[in-house]
A = this chain, B = another copy of it.
């Protein structure tokens, strides 16, 4: 399968692995890249030192292209940006902040930048500022999300931009990939599906919580405008109960503080946050990354043939 994005990145399939805090490490990223997709190492929450070591480790594990992710809300994001300037990864996806000042320094070291955008206005702004591709993320994605859905964003942003675009949020199989390409995207990003893959080094409790979850098990916590999507569990139920009781914001923030690493690292899927998107029921077992991607390409092909069959001359 060839798109402008696979050509630009020299990868086999237009499938990007989502940058998941405490989950997307060298092991997962290299597995996705080895399988023909684009792996991403997530620096969010980690130390700059860990970040540098994972980039080097991934280079040992694969000769294929992989990228990294920078979260501009991270207190030490600038240390991690320094690591990027020194390690010179092929590409960087950037979320949760203003990516414009990073474009020029990254281009100077030959690194491509893919800002994550939640609406038309920001998509146009980063495109005109020189972003190499944009990641359009819908509210059904796991982790920090906006309010607009993948279908609404694909419908409205794709006709407005010419830079290659990657669709994220709610896509978990080859039908979703084919739908995104059909709408005008050049590829998709998947997080949750890879979170629950064999190569994911996330704790088995968190991975199995995803395998056992269904469509109604994904909820959001946080204030309007800074929502985090995760699996419904003891923590989120407690959060929503306190919210309904009108408890002050500070108490709510206190409740979730530091819970991002608790599930994927410590294995507490009840009181830790399992950041996962809304497309859960199709994730039925912990498959190898290569198997997930192979199945997706088969599903995309079958879906395309099905669509063709509906047209009558």
Contact = CB atoms under 8 A, between A and B. Distances in A.
Nearest to A121: B216
A235 interface: no
Contacts of A173: 155
Top 10 A-B residue pairs of the complex, sorted by shortest distance between their CB atoms:
A152-B278, A151-B170, A179-B179, A149-B149, A140-B149, A152-B170, A182-B307, A156-B281, A150-B151, A155-B279
Interface string A264-295: 00000000000001111110000000000000
Contact of A312 (B2, B170, B307): B2
A219 B179 CA distance: 25
A178 B170 contact: no
A152 B141 CA distance: 9
A306 B149 contact: no
Given A1-B311, A181-B307, A214 B120 contact: yes
Contact of A246 (B172, B215, B246, B307): B246
B304 A2 contact: no
Contacts of A172: 155
Interface string A155-183: 11111100000000111110110110111
A303 interface: yes
Counted per complex, copies of this chain come to: 2
Given A119-B215, A140-B151, A156 B280 contact: yes
Interface of A: 1-3, 14, 119-121, 138-140, 147-160, 169-173, 175-176, 178-179, 181-184, 214-216, 218-219, 224, 240, 246, 277-282, 301, 303-304, 306-308, 310-312
A202 B14 CA distance: 43
Nearest to A247: B246
A218 B224 CA distance: 14
User: A154, A158, A159, A310: which has the most chain B beta carbons within 10 Å?
Assistant: A310
7 contacts: A2-B310, A120-B214, A120-B215, A149-B151, A158-B175, A184-B303, A184-B306
